[in-house]
Amino acid sequence: MLLEFEKPIADLELKLQEMKDLAKGRNIDLATDIQSLEEKIQSLKKETFQNLTRWQRVQLSRHADRPYSLDYIYEITNDFIELHGDRTVKDDKAMIGGLGDIEGRSVMFIGQQKGRNTKQRQERNFGMANPEGYRKALRLMKMAEKFGKPIVTLIDTPGAFPGLEAEERGQGEAIAKNLREMFMLKVPVICIIIGEGASGGALGIAIGDKVYMLENTWYSVISPESCSSILWRSWDYKEQAAEALKLTAIDMQKNGLIDGIIEEPLGGAHRDMKGMAKILKKTILEALKDLEKIKPEKRIEQRIDKFCSMGVFVE
């Protein structure tokens, strides 16, 4: 699937392939033409991806081919054992977790999970967790703390699920409790927005010593569509809403609301999952190295101070 602004690039890539086939089939030397076309593609890619609008980044964050939590986890780890259930109600498939190792170091992974096809999407509830998902996440975080393993959370959700049962089982309470408990975790916590970071549903697993966003993701209090429908009373102002919300990684870093941006391979994470996973792995290992130098009490103090300094007001 291609987004509108990806099409010119795809067209050129198609042409390039044709040229290559032609050169091969008829044994013609097109080396210079091929090279110049390759350069043209590269520069078009650069130009397109350096000048993305906020809405275009939102589109990329939801790209049908974008890698999801488990794609990265299996790519990054040698061993991974998925752990299920909140021990109270059920196993929420929109929230996954488990123990894995990165270059021999054990890490507790937790993340929202989206589905690739219609069946999977339903099973994963479009990455919208219920209260039991947040409680499963907390159970695994406490387990990580018990065994002294660092925690890596991967955030990719259009929001916590707004459903009947979700309300009955205390969606608000489940998220609130995670926020409070995550501040007190004695082990290092690294949070990475890999796709969509919508509101409380994202924040519910995003209280960390380091909070990163991939380049083409968004993180805010509301989706551009919902913001448009509330403030403009129509779904048609999503582009304006995206601009107004300042929801990209660049915006969030500028406002001091995240700790860093993780660069994606040119053309977006969905064009090179393995490349992206490699960068993620490096980022996690480096962050862990830094964080493990700090004593647990100090780390907790810094985590609390960081979030408590967020806000703009006049006195």
Partner 1 sequence: MAWFKRTDKGIKTSTEEKKDAPDGLWFKTPKGNIIHTRELKNNSYVCPDDDYHVKIGSKEYFEILFDNNEFKELDTKMVSGDPLKFVDSKPYTTRIEQTINKAELNDAVRTAVGKMNGFELVVACMDFSFIGGSMGSVVGEKIARAIDHSLKHKIPFLMISKSGGARMMEAGFSLMQMAKTSAKLALLDKAGIPYISLLTDPTTGGVTASYAMLGDFNIAEPGALIGFAGPRVIRETIGKDLPKGFQSSEFVLEHGFLDFIIDRRQLKNRLTTLLKLLNN
Near partner 1 by CB under 8 A: residue from 59, 61, 112, 199: 199
DSSP characters over 112-140: E---SSHHHHHHTGGG---HHHHHHHHHH
Q: At 219, is the secondary structure helix, strand, or coil? A: strand
Stretch that binds partner 1, among 7-15, 115-123, 149-157, 176-184 (CB under 8 A): 176-184
User: Distance between CA atoms of 87 and 17, rounded to whole angstroms?
Assistant: 53
DSSP state of 117: S
Near partner 1 by CB under 8 A: residue from 52, 140, 160, 187: 160
Size of the site for partner 1 (CB under 8 A): 52
Residue 181 binds partner 1, judged by CB under 8 A: yes
Residue 5 binds partner 1, judged by CB under 8 A: no
Residue 179 binds partner 1, judged by CB under 8 A: yes
Q: Closer to partner 1 by CB, 1 or 164: give it.
A: 164
CB of 238 to partner 1, least distance (A): 13
Show the CA angle centred on residue 50, arms to residues 48 and 54, nearest 5°.
90
Distances in whole angstroms, Cα of residue 196 to Cα of each of 24, 120, 177, 202, 213? 43, 18, 22, 8, 10
Residue 192 binds partner 1, judged by CB under 8 A: no
Q: Closer to partner 1 by CB, 1 or 308: give it.
A: 308
Stretch that binds partner 1, among 80-88, 99-107, 136-144, 169-177 (CB under 8 A): 169-177
Tell which positions 277-306 bind partner 1, by CB under 8 A.
Answer: 303-304
Residue 231 binds partner 1, judged by CB under 8 A: yes
DSSP characters over 160-188: S---HHHHHTTHHHHHHHHHHHHHT-SS-
Residue 173 binds partner 1, judged by CB under 8 A: yes
Near partner 1 by CB under 8 A: residue from 167, 236, 263, 286: 167
User: Distance between CA atoms of 169 and 100, rounded to whole angstroms?
Assistant: 30
Residue 222 binds partner 1, judged by CB under 8 A: yes
Residue in this structure with the two tokens 């959700």, named with its chain if needed: 157
Q: At 150, is the secondary structure helix, strand, or coil? A: coil
